[in-house]
């Protein structure tokens, strides 16, 4: 009880002291408190930067806006590259004005970005081979001769990555007046490679007349995020798969392909085609063409 009374007396003495401070001292104390509050308020009330909007495809997130140089590009669509149960990467295409028209996008001279988000561990050289073959598949011989050296420079640059791993990101940017810029996990690799023709040829692998994967092309040509939708898992309908499972070989077993190899099995690569030792090449047609 005595302790309670003593504490109460101290509290009353403190209140009495504050209430009887000279006006000048009380004003100074109030001014100091006001200045501290004024300094703290701007930081407290400053707007928190909003997180970049994202869209998802096959459980992989893409920002809906990407900046290439001074241009803000919009996500046109996303698509999975995979064969049977193997998922190689999810691609995202960024353009100034979303469109479902592949020819319009290929002809557009403006900036672009093609992003590949890797889903497996594999030699990067497999992707380099795929780029070489894919360009040759989509470009006529006279035009190919004019870009052969630059194509090889790009493919070699991809080879030099060494290996790609799940979670890695490869960006191929086109900047008018500069050319193609390659970035790996946000880090620029090498000098720009000049020529809108080369970038158009690489983009044709994905959305051209002879794409590596018809289903992936369809996703990339969604015409904007609203059209792209969101998917978080493999296609439920087998008809939506990028490619059919390997055809059965003699004796009922699946024909051997590079995709069957656990080490270095790559959905985008030339190794997905049937090797020369197989009796019959894999069928090629809409939605089931082999990788480039």
44 belongs to a structural domain: no
Q: Structural domain of residue 199, as residue ranges?
A: 55-224
> What percent of the chain is predicted at pLDDT more than 90?
57
pLDDT recorded at residue 47: 53
Could you tell me if 205 and 134 are in contact, meaning their C-beta atoms sit under 8 angstroms apart? yes
277 belongs to a structural domain: no
| Dihedrals phi, psi of 272, to nearest 5 degrees | -75, -15
> What percent of the chain is predicted at pLDDT more than 70?
60
User: Two tokens at 50?
Assistant: 């909003």
145 belongs to a structural domain: yes
CATH number of the CATH domain containing 178 = 3.50.70.10
184 belongs to a structural domain: yes
The pTM of the whole model exceeds 0.95: no
284 belongs to a structural domain: no
275 belongs to a structural domain: no
Whole-number CA gyration radius for the chain: 30
> In the chain, how many domains are there?
1
**pLDDT tens profile 108-164:** 999 999 999 999 999 999 999 999 999 999 999 999 999 999 999 999 999 999 999
pLDDT recorded at residue 26: 40
210 belongs to a structural domain: yes
106 belongs to a structural domain: yes
pLDDT recorded at residue 84: 82
């Amino acid at each position: 009880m005595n302790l309670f009374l003593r504490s109460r007396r101290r509290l009353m003495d403190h209140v009495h002291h504050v209430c009887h401070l000279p006006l000048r001292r009380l004003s100074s104390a109030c001014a100091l408190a006001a200045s501290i509050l004024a300094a703290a308020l701007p930081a407290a009330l400053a707007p928190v930067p909003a997180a970049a909007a994202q869209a998802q495809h096959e459980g992989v997130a893409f920002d809906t806006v990407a900046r290439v140089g001074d241009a803000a590009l919009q996500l046109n669509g996303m698509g999975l590259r995979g064969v049977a149960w193997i998922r190689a990467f999810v691609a995202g295409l960024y353009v100034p004005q979303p469109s479902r028209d592949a020819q319009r996008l290929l002809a557009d001279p403006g900036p672009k970005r093609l992003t590949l988000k890797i889903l497996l561990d594999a030699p990067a050289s497999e992707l380099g081979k795929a780029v070489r073959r894919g360009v040759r598949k989509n470009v006529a011989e006279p035009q190919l001769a004019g870009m052969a050296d630059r194509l090889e420079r790009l493919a070699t640059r991809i080879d030099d990555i060494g290996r790609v791993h799940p979670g890695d990101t490869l960006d191929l940017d086109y900047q008018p007046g500069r050319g193609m810029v390659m970035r790996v996990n946000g880090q620029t690799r090498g000098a720009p490679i000049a020529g809108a023709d080369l970038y158009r040829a690489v983009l044709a692998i994905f959305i051209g007349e002879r794409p590596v994967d018809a289903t992936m092309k369809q996703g990339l040509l969604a015409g904007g995020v609203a059209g792209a939708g969101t998917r978080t898992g493999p296609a439920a309908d087998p008809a939506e798969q990028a490619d059919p499972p390997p055809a059965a070989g003699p004796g009922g077993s699946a024909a051997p392909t590079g995709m069957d190899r656990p080490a270095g099995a790559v959905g985008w690569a030339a190794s997905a085609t049937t090797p020369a030792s197989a009796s019959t090449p894999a069928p090629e047609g809409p939605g089931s063409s082999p990788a480039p």
